[in-house]
Amino acid sequence: MSDLNKPDIPEGELPQEVVAELRRRYVSSVTIPEAVDRAVLQDAQSVLHPPQPSQPNRRTWLFGVVTVTSLAAVLMIAMLPQWRNSVPDDAFLQMARSDRAETAATAGDSSSGEAPRTIVTGRDRQDAADVDGDGRLDILDAFALARRIQTGSVRGTVGDQNGDGVVDEADVDLIAMSVVML
């Protein structure tokens, strides 16, 4: 057995300062639990690097798009009846007037010899003139509007087919024209 590892000086004979310094240097380190370490790290990160506002991901975008589309659909459904009943159609009226004049000229040659009250339709306005609200367009819608005009019971611009702000005979004629359109 070698004596190399043997201390030259017994520990009990070392100076007290040396012993104290050696004990301070070689003391075992404190073991910190991993959870505590992680918590401290996150706490530090939250202070040093505050979280950025989160960017919307694809799912959020999709949700938003579907929501907006649904709301737009609801709005359209709610507004559709009003649009149908209030779309002014100057071209339609103009065409009807010209057709009426043309038909009057044609029918003037017929055997009746009377000035015909003929009005011609141009295109479909199926739901725009449902004055009596029975879900179909027929001569009774024109009749109902004519009766309202006659009795003075027109409510606002309800039945204003040509969009001129006045409910009168022209609107009745427009509805009737729609009825007999081929």
Partner 1 sequence: MNVAVDHSGCVASRRRRVPTAWIVLILFDVCLVALVCAQDDQPNRAVAEQTPVGTIVQIEGPADVEPDDVRFEAIDVFVDAGDESLAAYQFELQSRTPGVEIVGIEGGEHAAFAEPPYYDARAMNNNRVIIAAFNTGRNLPSGRSRVARIHVQLQGPGLKEYETKLTVSATVNGKRIPAEASISRTQA
Q: Which residues bind partner 1 (CB under 8 A)?
A: 35-36, 38-39, 42-43, 46, 59, 63, 66-67, 70, 73-74, 77, 99, 102-103, 106-107, 109-112, 114, 116-121, 127, 132, 134-136, 138-140, 142-144, 146-147, 150, 173, 176-177, 179-182
In angstroms, give the least distance from the CB of 158 to partner 1. 16
* Closer CB to partner 1, 22 or 123, in the complex: 123
SS3 content of the chain, % helix, strand, coil (to 5): 55, 0, 45
In angstroms, give the least distance from the CB of 81 to partner 1. 9
In angstroms, give the least distance from the CB of 91 to partner 1. 17
Cβ pair 152, 168 in contact under 8 A:
no
In angstroms, give the least distance from the CB of 128 to partner 1. 13
* Closer CB to partner 1, 119 or 160, in the complex: 119
If phi over 0 gives left and psi between -120 and 50 gives alpha, with beta otherwise, what is residue 99?
alpha
* Closer CB to partner 1, 160 or 175, in the complex: 175
**Residue 34: exposed, middle, or buried by beta-carbon count in 10 A (0-12, 13-18, 19+)?**
exposed
Rounded to whole angstroms, the Cα distance separating 164 from 145 reads: 16
Cβ pair 119, 96 in contact under 8 A:
yes
Q: Which helix (H) or strand (E) holds 60?
A: helix 58-86
* Closer CB to partner 1, 6 or 59, in the complex: 59
* Closer CB to partner 1, 2 or 54, in the complex: 54
In angstroms, give the least distance from the CB of 160 to partner 1. 19
